[in-house]
Amino acid sequence: MTVISETAFAKINLALHVRVRRPDGYHEIETLFAFCADGDQISVGPANELLLSITGPFGDGLPVDEGNLVLRAVLAIREHFGVKKGAQIILDKRLPIAAGLGGGSADAAAAARALNRLWELNADDAALISAIGPLGADVAVCVASQSALGKGLGDQLSVPPADMPGPGAPILLVNPLKPCPTGAVYKGWDGADRGSLAISRAGWRNDLTPSAIAQVPEIGEALYLLDDMGTASLVRMSGSGATCFALFDSLADRDEAQAEIVAHQPGWWTMSSVLR
């Protein structure tokens, strides 16, 4: 049986500047998207109907019906391209849930890429975005999973600034495994517009960090530990939390930092990777 696999690359917000809260409750943002070389895994194979199953360390309790963004993406692909075939979809959930890593959006995009190959649709990224983009603001950027500058709701994509770290940059992700609800974090934003996204990484912020720390104080501890090591070139929280990340100049520095975090907080989740 033909089985096709795709990585749902972990999304990182190197910066997230919140500019204004709109009357509809959404927020205008400026953000720098980057992607790790690792993440969840999606596997698809032929079947007479659509079947979704979930494995992995963070798969417990996730729905396998239309409450799951993966299945909604599959249904959107079928409708958009007029496909009548079924598929067996397996989601290997390796990233924490609601972690600021775009997991659901990345999973949906990976499923679309995998089915594009399985069903021989020959669709380009633009066509896939037309099919599944309406499912969420991060879905469009996750289709190609390449660095980008995002504006508006994060869905207006353009070329990122020259100071973006390049492919292969060592990165360490740290998550204290405490729930950090996106809605509550955005609601806790203080409403202050601190300015547009800077060209230089020294001016890159995440304006949601104070609100997220108020929800999950361990985020502050993770940021302190990563910064205090003194070897990271950039330490920030990703998205609305709770995952924090650090960029390093060498794999050795990254791995040493991971070992220190694990020794200090053995119950936390960590993932070492590189940027795509």
Residues forming the active site: 11, 138
Contact 18, 211 (CB under 8 A): no
- Give CA–CA dist 195/264, Å, rounded: 36
- Give CA–CA dist 145/108, Å, rounded: 12
CB atoms within 10 A of CB 145: 26
CB atoms within 10 A of CB 225: 19
Strands 27-45, 87-92: pairing is antiparallel
